[in-house]
Amino acid sequence: MDVVTGGLLLVTGFFAGTLGGLLGIGGCVIMLPALVFLFKYPLPVAIGTTITAVILTASSGAYGHVRLKNVDYSTAKIVAICGATGAMVGSIAFFYVAKQLWLLNFILGFAFLYVSIRMVYEGIIKRKIPEKESKEVPGSKTAKASIGFLIGIVTGIVGLGEVMLWFLHSYICWAQQ
């Protein structure tokens, strides 16, 4: 890698991390398309790179939320254990899916499309979800475990944990209706 490309990757990563932190979306949602479309990385390499980078970014974000006392530990434990198990399954599936690039593109595109449609829907409808004093995430342990496992599988395949968390967000929004 030459110095210019390294510098551009550094600037792009800083921009993605800053924007991701401000919007609460995570940097990988910006970094993955940048690696594929701007820097011409092969999709499997871009996914592996972003999922590895998310370890540091997610850890620093989690640390901030722990300090702010914004963590429902019982839900975090369930989602983390089931999500890690699902990520292992997803990582195994990735070996097979990566050989079928059209399928990998489809899964990744669907993940982005779902989140985009959901965000537009929420922006247009502008539902007012009443704030709760409780910092406990609603829903049963079974539902949280299932969602964590599914998020883990898709994360293991496409490397976008924060996008998959929108599935959990959607569940929470629908659970409160």
Residues 52-75: tens digit of each pLDDT:
877 777 777 778 788 888 888 998
Cβ-based neighbour number of residue 116 at 10 Å:
12
Cβ within 8 Å of residue 117, ≥6 positions away: none
pLDDT in tens, 106-121: 888 887 787 778 777 7
Cβ within 8 Å of residue 167, ≥6 positions away: 114, 147, 150, 151, 154
Looking at this protein, which amino acid is placed at residue 13? G
Residues 154 and 47 sit within 8 Å (Cβ to Cβ): no
pLDDT in tens, 90-110: 889 988 888 888 988 888 888
- List the alpha helices (DSSP H) in the chain: 3-23, 28-33, 43-67, 73-97, 101-125, 141-158, 161-175
Cβ within 8 Å of residue 70, ≥6 positions away: 135
Q: Which of 137, 125, 116 is nearest to 25 (CA)?
A: 116
Confidence band, pLDDT 50/70/90 cuts, at residue 163: low
Average pLDDT over residues 154-175: 61
8-state DSSP, 130? P
Q: Which of 42, 35, 30, 26 is nearest to 5 (CA)?
A: 35
Question: Distance from CA of residue 61 to its chain's centroid?
Answer: 13
Confidence band, pLDDT 50/70/90 cuts, at residue 165: low
